[in-house]
Amino acid sequence: MYRTALFLSLAVATAAQATPQLPRHAELDLRTARQLADASLAHCTAALTVLDRGGNLLLGLRADGVGPHNSLASQRKAYTALSTKTPTRLFAERARNNPEAANLNSLPELLLLGGGIPLFADAELVGALGIAGAGGAAQDEACAVQAAEQLGLKITP
């Protein structure tokens, strides 16, 4: 009996030591995505996409009267902002000024056009917001930035 208890104690201690200490991350949830959508649509009439930190779609909406192509554009803007951790207007500007980045436009997932912003909670990337159809790249970005700021999210770490 003593040996069995000792063996079980050693097994439990070994298992506890073998468990890695995984990092915990802030998560963008559906409730927050809905709040972002409401804040965005309060500032502009557009299509919008909210992605979580893994690039998964949390929410996609298109306001009445906004062309259907803007839904895909908003998703690609959000994906571009998430994957580069950079607002898409800034990323597009940098790409235009760098000849080695000229082929980025050939990647079908990316859209080098203003309106996509990464979303940071403190210094941690939690997702992205893409806006399209608000009247141009500058308007799309302004709408997205206003919505993020309204919720206390940042676009830079």
Comparing 102 with 139, the larger pLDDT belongs to: 139
What mean pLDDT, rounded, does the chain reach?
91
Q: Residues 72, 125, 110, CA angle at the centre, nearest 5°?
A: 30
Reported confidence tier of residue 10, pLDDT bands at 50, 70, 90: low
Comparing 14 with 73, the larger pLDDT belongs to: 73
For the domain covering 24-150, report its CATH number.
Answer: 3.30.450.150
Reported confidence tier of residue 5, pLDDT bands at 50, 70, 90: low
Alpha helices in the chain (DSSP H): 2-18, 30-43, 69-84, 88-96, 137-150
Q: Which residue has the tokens 């210094």?
A: 123
Q: What is the pTM of this model?
A: 0.85
Q: Which long-range contacts (CB under 8 A, 24 or more apart) does 101-109 make?
A: 109/76, 109/79, 109/80, 109/83
Report the pLDDT value the prediction gives residue 64, as an integer from 0 to 100: 96
What type of residue is 59?
L
